[in-house]
Amino acid sequence: MRQSLVIGNWKMNGSLGLTSELLHAIEDAIDDKISCEIGVCIPFVYINVAQQLVKQTAIKVGAQTVSEYQSGAYTGEVSAEMLAEVGCKWVLVGHSERRTLFNESNLLLVEKVLAAQAARLVPVYCVGETEADYKSGVTFDVIKEQVEALLSNQAVDLDQLVLAYEPVWAIGTGLTASPEEAQKVHAFIRGLVKEKNIKSAERLQILYGGSVKPDNALSLFGQRDIDGGLIGGASLDANAFISICQKA
């Protein structure tokens, strides 16, 4: 049985004040109806402060991207070791905004996954098809290419990994894949991992992301291969986020 996991992705939102406000509100709202793991992937500059705030709680902190390099002359970059040192557990790798706006390729993203794992972080490797892909019926081809890029690298540790399926057309749009549609893709992803290692595939947490809200979370999380959610917009509202965690 896999434990459910809900991770908030704050993106480039917030401030010192909001970081403390939101984390306190989430912490206050955590009750015994919540049994999932809870993570918040927040801007780099707030990680240290957030880590102090959540120390005694069930919330764990993560980052939204990481350098593929260990150290050196890479101005502006943040290494996986640095993130581990300030207490991060997770790091998002390959969010569609990174793939599209920052031209991050599958090849580069696999390097980032390896860098994260080497520092004992758990990379949350995100995959998803665009609206054009979805409309032309190539969703499974796109997902296969993105997942295979990872699986074909023998150095990737399948037991120190989370996958997230996020249809790009559902991110921040209010549209979601139907639970049945999402389940099909999640089962497909798990099947690809199974071809490499059956036990790892059974253990692997695969999150769904794309306009998850309190009112659609239950039907999505009720699907056999959906192990929780990656939550954007709704993670900036403590009540909505907690309500989603309760559904997981």
Interface with ligand PEP (CB under 6 A): 9, 95, 166, 171-172, 209-212, 230-234
Q: Specify burial of residue 100 (Cβ count, 10 A radius: 0-12, 13-18, 19+).
A: exposed
At its nearest, how many Å lie between ligand PEP and the CB of residue 40?
A: 12
In terms of Cα–Cα distance, which of 60, 51, 128, 57 is closest to 90?
A: 60
| Identity of the residue, 121 or 240, whose beta carbon is nearer to ligand PEP in the bound complex | 240
Residues 6+ apart with CB under 8 A from 217: 229, 243, 244, 247, 248
Phi/psi region, residue 209 (left: phi>0; alpha: psi -120 to 50; beta: rest), is beta
Tokens of 170: 């559902």
Residues constituting the chain: 248
Residue 133: what are its φ and ψ, rounded to 5°? -60, -45
> Could you give the CA distance from residue 108 to residue 142 in angstroms, rounded to a whole number?
17
Would you say 204 or 217 has its CB closer to ligand PEP? 217
Give the DSSP H/E element, type plus range, for residue 21: helix 16-29
- In the complex, least distance from residue 58 CB atom to ligand PEP, rounded to whole angstroms: 21
Q: Which is nearer to ligand PEP, 64 or 79 (CB)?
A: 64
Alpha-carbon span 142 to 127, nearest angstrom: 9
Active site residues: 95, 166
Smaller CB separation from ligand PEP, 177 or 204 = 177
* Distance of alpha carbon 41 from alpha carbon 47, whole angstroms: 9
Closest contact distance (angstroms) between CB of 85 and ligand PEP is: 25
For the purposes of burial, counting CB atoms within 10 Å of the CB of 17, is it exposed (0-12), middle (13-18) or buried (19 or more)? Answer: exposed
Of 183 and 216, CB closest to ligand PEP: 216
CB of 210 to ligand PEP, least distance (A): 5
Q: Please state the closest distance from residue 37 (CB atom) to ligand PEP, in A.
A: 17
